Amino acid sequence: MSTATVTMSPFTPSATAAAGSAGATRLRLTRRGRVVLTSLAAIPLVVGALFFALNGGGAVATGDQVNVQFHYVTVESGQSLWSIAETVAPSADPRDVIADIVSLNQLESAVVSPGQRIAIPSQYER
């Protein structure tokens, strides 16, 4: 009986396959795999964003009515918001008082006309 010896070249396909399987295998993602992985990661983020957008922050509206009484001042000839602010809140900064009055009355500017009624914020009432 004769024995045959088979020698393999280091560059044959079976030799490189054997050498590759002996080491650590590498994970290779295809384009489709990256799309699937990205989609799976994005779904919880999208669901969370929709939940918070539709939840509205948890504010609850009630049917309770609150009666708020405002103190009103009628603007006289020669008066400005600065002079009114100094009158109603002498210890406060007039710029802050004017900003609060403009905001409360939804004025477009700090210019007022004689005869105009202006609501004074409750923190400045005497």
Give the helix ranges, DSSP H, for 24-123.
31-55, 81-88, 94-105
CA 42 to CA 32: how far, in whole Å?
Answer: 15
CATH topology for the 71-124 domain? Membrane-bound Lytic Murein Transglycosylase D; Chain A (3.10.350)
Q: What is the value of pTM for the model shown?
A: 0.47
26 vs 64, which has greater pLDDT? Answer: 26
Q: What are phi and psi of 76, to 5 degrees?
A: -100, 165
Q: Of 27, 119, 11, 6, whose CA–CA distance to 73 is shortest?
A: 119
Reported as a single tens digit per residue, the pLDDT across 27-46 is 888 999 999 999 999 999 99
Reported as a single tens digit per residue, the pLDDT across 43-95 is 999 999 888 888 866 667 777 777 777 889 999 999 999 999 999 999 999 99
